[in-house]
Amino acid sequence: MKKILSILLFIGLALNVNAQLLWKISGNGQEKPSYILGTHHLAPLSIKDSIAGLPQAVEGTTQVYGEVVMSDMMSPEFMQVMQQSMMMAGDTTLQKLFTPEQYEVVGKVVKENLMADIAMLGKLKPAAITQQLTLILCMKHLGGFNPQEQLDTYFQQQALQSGKKVGGLETPQSQLDMLFKGQTLQRQANLLYCLVSDIDKAMEQTKRLNNAYKTQNLDEMLKLMEERDGNSCDPQPGEMEALLDNRNKAWIEKMPALMKDAPTLFVVGAGHLPGTNGVLNLLKQQGYTVEPMK
């Protein structure tokens, strides 16, 4: 789908998946079940009140594991590392990554939305600009979106307040590498141009994805993820695998030991749940019983 890959990097999905975001994981010798909840960064925090079985899952688990420990992402040390990761090395500049016409289009959108002259951002990686633009555009176009209220952060904070352990399936550094080093600078520039060249369509697609999440329809999210326009804005070979499949498989190697140690509530992006290589199916392949909460 045109522009969907750059949007997925902010937010930042075949099997017949039911319309549900919370799943119970049992079997394989577990004394108590664990659970996995699919989140979406653009959804309002209030959606938690409509997720069937969520109070039971929270009450029945003694630790919460997310993709990363969110508090680690906000530490001064990590913020410094992130700032360094967002900058281009050497003599490469934004202007060198675009044609003059493209540079003008990108500069106009940056000025309108980030209130900055693109010349002042010349050493910033295109992926970093895509992140900031996507955030601002979603705040403008999506009702109920508040970047200060994130489901992932909420559940980790609630766990800490209850004296529960909080952990991450991957490190903050691995997410930084995926966002800012996983693609060439030229590919990052191409995806940024895909976003700015048709913002209306990008936001319409984002709204469709967001609405599918709000109705807890993972099948529809997967369908939207698999749409393609047949142009250079579509995911290139290996990109979706790096974004989803490879990470799912790495998580599955860690999850059994965590669940054996203590009943766990996993809180990860909903896009990781469905599909042949989705976490739900990978758990089933390991012999677990995975069923939607009602």
Instruction: Give the chain's domain count.
Output: 1
Band (pLDDT 50/70/90 cuts) for residue 194 is very high
pTM of the model: 0.90
Q: How many CB atoms lie within 10 A of CB 249?
A: 13
* pLDDT of the residue at 147: 83
pLDDT of 38 over the 50 cut? yes
pLDDT of 14 over the 60 cut? no
Looking at per-residue confidence, does 24 or 4 come out higher?
24
pLDDT of 287 over the 50 cut? yes
* pLDDT of the residue at 148: 85
Task: Compute the average pLDDT of residues 189-209.
Answer: 94
Most confident of 18-22, 127-131, 140-144: 127-131
Beta carbons within 8 Å of 103's beta carbon, 6+ residues apart? 94, 95, 118
CA proximity to 194, closest of 134, 241, 145: 134
218: amino acid identity, one letter:
L
* pLDDT of the residue at 141: 87
Task: Compute the average pLDDT of residues 135-140.
Answer: 91
* pLDDT of the residue at 128: 97
Band (pLDDT 50/70/90 cuts) for residue 15 is very low
Please give the residue range of the domain that contains residue 206.
4-292
CA proximity to 25, closest of 282, 276, 242: 282
Task: Compute the average pLDDT of residues 269-287.
Answer: 95
* pLDDT of the residue at 19: 58
Average pLDDT, the chain: 91
Task: Return the percentage of the chain with pLDDT > 90, whole number.
Answer: 82
Cα–Cα distance, 104 to 193 (Å, whole number):
11
* pLDDT of the residue at 2: 43
Q: Running DSSP on this structure, what letter comes out for residue 171?
A: -
Helices (H), the chain: 4-10, 54-59, 70-73, 76-85, 94-97, 100-114, 126-141, 151-161, 172-180, 185-197, 199-214, 218-225, 239-240, 246-261, 279-285
pLDDT of 133 over the 80 cut? yes
Task: Compute the average pLDDT of residues 42-53.
Answer: 91
Tell me the β-bridge partners of 63.
Answer: 165, 264
CA proximity to 126, closest of 100, 154, 88: 88
pLDDT of 7 over the 50 cut? no
